[in-house]
């Protein structure tokens, strides 16, 4: 048993034990598990894509943990941030969806789910869900819709949005390629499904190059009136 | 009347704390403006070395990170010290680069003075004495290896100045992943191909399991009279191929006004 020199006073005798007062210990209820999500809305389709890497610190927990969760036949939610809160939040949303269906005898629309999620998140305004959410789906007229949220429930409808660890790298590229920002003399064609899927794959390849938390694989959920289709593309594993 | 003469006092060793007050004031000024001072770039890193039958094999990954963003996808972490001694560096990138260059320069002068090929133990002694002098403020964690008249040698050197002379070593954020491979498969007096395969696999473990390491595997095989600097030895990760074309046509960047300046340069 080692006793430090601090236990002894200048005269060589052992010091009396004194209670020094409250000691602050640091416990954080949150962890950051990485991951990037992206959603794009088209004329008659919506895409929700996420990488499948789950990490913590410098380690990888899983290479196959997608961040897209199917809510209804026309809506998918992407959740990144603290994985514990992502799981709890999606469980709560699924329960609330069932309750709505049983009371109102119909499925929730994308807009309704978005409004509900905002209230769920603000309900924990003083101990937030550490989750960055993006909902992608079809609205009541069959047009693509994207709703992006902050951790405490502020939301808006977008055409495209990136969230998660590589969001700052993806968002400017999407602003340029989908929003045609900072470009002159360019034919502003409406975004087709094929072009959108190709763009999503390419931006994730680029994000995996520079963001350590993004990689392993990319899962794209393609939402059309036919239903929800999935595509999986491998990414860098380092 | 005798004018007083002031004598300039030179610092005799130890850490010079001269600039600390100035740095603290500068940092406070920057923070007041709402900015943060730039963080020193760390290399993340997996580096390792192994002693085999004819010499040493050093290995390193090639990713340099700034926080959790990759700053350099193919940086070189195996540094030249002398024709028969090389050094891998982990920790703060500037510190590993400058420290190895300073010792390389001093060792060359020393070698000219002795008239002999430099020894690995000399490089080790010079590195540890410098790092200890700076009390760990120089964030350089090194794997030093080479072959000299005494035989092949491998050292690991920590930022505070302690060193270990061992048959196999790993350093950096991926050191645990690499050491797991070494502890499983290391044997004394391996053949060259087996040693290269072992080092390659150890670095690969760091590359795939540690987020701070990535990209390619560089190797340096040092034997008596020959050095094989294999960069890259293995391209473990290729850049993904993008299918779209993102080249901009002429006229995409609008220029709204033209300014023509005529400058006269007298000949």
The answer to whether residue B96 is catalytic is: no
What domains appear along chain A, each with residue ranges and CATH number? 36-235 (3.60.20.10)
- Give residue B211's pLDDT: 94
Q: For B252, which of A57, A183, A237 is closest by C-beta distance?
A: A183
**In this structure, how many other beta carbons lie within 10 angstroms of the beta carbon of residue A104?**
10
| Phi, psi (deg, nearest 5) at residue A211 | -100, 125
Q: What is the pLDDT of residues B113-123, one digit of tens each?
A: 999 999 999 99
Q: What is the pLDDT of residues A147-203, one digit of tens each?
A: 999 999 999 999 999 999 999 999 999 999 999 999 988 888 999 999 999 999 999
Instruction: Please check whether residue B215 touches A, CB under 8 A.
Output: yes
What confidence category does residue A238 fall into, taking pLDDT thresholds of 50, 70 and 90? very high
- Whether A133 shows a pLDDT value over 70: the answer reads yes
CA distances from B134 to B89, B104, B131 (A): 17, 18, 5
The tokens 């699924």 sit on which residue? A94
Instruction: Please check whether residue B236 touches A, CB under 8 A.
Output: yes
Q: Are the beta carbons of B161 and B128 closer than 8 angstroms? A: yes
Q: ipTM value of the model?
A: 0.80
Residues of A in contact with B69 (CB under 8 A): 210-212
Q: How distant is the Cα of B251 from the closest Cα of chain A, in angstroms?
A: 7
Q: For A210, which of B69, B243, B244 is closest by C-beta distance?
A: B69
What confidence category does residue B3 fall into, taking pLDDT thresholds of 50, 70 and 90? low
What confidence category does residue B215 fall into, taking pLDDT thresholds of 50, 70 and 90? very high
Q: What is the pLDDT of residues B137-189, one digit of tens each?
A: 999 999 999 999 999 999 999 999 999 999 999 999 999 999 999 999 999 99
Q: What is the pLDDT of residues B221-241, one digit of tens each?
A: 999 999 999 999 999 888 889
CB proximity list for A150: less than 8 A, separation 6 or greater: A132
Contact (CB<8Å) A58/B210 = yes
Provide mean pLDDT across the span B259-265: 85
Q: What is the pLDDT of residues B71-89, one digit of tens each?
A: 999 999 999 999 999 999 9
Residues of A in contact with B240 (CB under 8 A): 205-206, 208-209, 235-236
Mean of per-residue pLDDT scores for chain B: 90
Residues of B in contact with A62 (CB under 8 A): none
| Catalytic option among B43, B45, B46, B65 | B45
d(CA B197, CA B48): 13
Q: What is the pLDDT of residues A196-214, one digit of tens each?
A: 999 999 999 999 999 999 9
Residues of A in contact with B242 (CB under 8 A): 201-202, 205-206
- Whether A73 shows a pLDDT value over 60: the answer reads yes
- Give residue A25's pLDDT: 73
Chain A residue whose CA is closest to B172: A58
- Give residue A9's pLDDT: 75
- Give residue B2's pLDDT: 63
Chain B residue whose CA is closest to A187: B252
CB proximity list for B26: less than 8 A, separation 6 or greater: B37
- Whether B11 shows a pLDDT value over 60: the answer reads no
Contact (CB<8Å) A212/B70 = yes
User: What CATH number labels B42-234?
Assistant: 3.60.20.10
Under DSSP, the state recorded for A108 is P
Mean of per-residue pLDDT scores for chain A: 93
**Angle A188-A194-A197 from CA coordinates, rounded to 5°:** 100
Provide mean pLDDT across the span B4-19: 65
Q: What is the pLDDT of residues A85-121, one digit of tens each?
A: 999 999 999 999 999 999 999 999 999 999 999 999 9
Q: What is the pLDDT of residues B12-69, one digit of tens each?
A: 666 677 787 888 888 888 888 877 776 665 558 999 999 999 999 999 999 999 888 9
d(CA B32, CA A168): 25
The domains of chain B are located at 42-234
**Angle B146-B165-B80 from CA coordinates, rounded to 5°:** 30
- Give residue A158's pLDDT: 94
Chain B residue whose CA is closest to A182: B253
Q: What is the pTM of this model?
A: 0.82
d(CA A147, CA A135): 5
């Amino acid at each position: 048993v080692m006793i430090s020199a601090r236990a002894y006073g200048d005269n060589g005798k052992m010091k009396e034990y004194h209670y020094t007062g409250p000691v602050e210990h640091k416990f954080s209820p949150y962890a950051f598990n990485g991951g990037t999500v992206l959603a794009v809305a088209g004329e008659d389709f919506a895409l929700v894509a996420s990488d499948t890497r789950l990490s913590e610190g410098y380690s990888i927990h899983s290479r196959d943990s997608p961040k897209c969760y199917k809510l209804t036949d026309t809506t998918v939610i992407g959740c990144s941030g603290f994985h514990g809160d992502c799981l709890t939040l999606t469980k709560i949303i699924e329960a609330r969806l069932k309750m709505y269906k049983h009371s109102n005898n119909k499925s929730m629309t994308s807009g309704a789910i978005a409004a509900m999620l905002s209230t769920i998140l603000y309900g924990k305004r003083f101990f937030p869900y550490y989750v960055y959410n993006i909902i992608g789906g079809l609205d009541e007229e069959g047009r693509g819709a994207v709703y992006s949220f902050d951790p405490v429930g502020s939301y808006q409808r977008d055409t495209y949005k990136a969230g998660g660890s590589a969001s700052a790298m993806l968002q400017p590229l999407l602003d340029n390629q989908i929003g045609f920002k900072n470009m002159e003399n360019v034919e502003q064609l409406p975004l087709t499904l094929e072009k959108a899927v190709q763009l999503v794959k390419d931006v994730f390849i680029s994000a995996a190059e520079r963001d350590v938390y993004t990689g392993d694989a990319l899962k794209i959920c393609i939402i059309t009136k036919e239903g929800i289709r999935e595509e999986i593309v491998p990414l860098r594993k380092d | 009347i005798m004018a007083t003469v002031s004598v300039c006092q030179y610092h005799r060793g130890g850490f010079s704390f001269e600039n600390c007050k100035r740095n603290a004031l500068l940092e406070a000024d920057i923070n007041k403006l709402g900015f943060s001072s730039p963080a020193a770039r760390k290399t993340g890193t997996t580096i390792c070395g192994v002693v085999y039958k004819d010499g040493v094999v050093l290995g390193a990954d090639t990713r340099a990170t700034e926080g959790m963003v990759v700053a350099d996808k193919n940086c070189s972490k195996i540094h030249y010290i002398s024709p028969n001694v090389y050094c891998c560096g982990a920790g703060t990138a500037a510190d590993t680069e400058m420290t190895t260059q300073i010792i390389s320069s001093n060792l060359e002068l020393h070698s000219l003075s002795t008239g002999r090929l430099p020894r690995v133990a000399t490089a080790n002694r010079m590195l540890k004495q410098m790092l200890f002098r700076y009390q760990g403020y120089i964030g350089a964690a090194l794997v030093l290896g080479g072959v000299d008249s005494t035989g092949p040698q491998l050292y690991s050197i920590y930022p505070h100045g302690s060193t270990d002379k061992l048959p196999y070593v790993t350093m950096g954020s991926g050191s645990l992943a690499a050491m797991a491979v070494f502890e499983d498969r290391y044997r004394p007096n391996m053949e060259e191909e087996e040693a290269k395969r072992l080092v390659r696999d150890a670095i690969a473990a760091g590359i795939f399991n540690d987020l701070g390491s990535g990209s390619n595997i560089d190797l340096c095989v040092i034997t008596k009279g020959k050095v094989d600097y294999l960069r890259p030895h293995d391209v473990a990760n290729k850049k993904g191929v993008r299918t779209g074309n993102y080249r901009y046509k002429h006229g995409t960047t609008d220029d709204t006004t033209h300014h023509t300046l005529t400058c006269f340069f007298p000949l």
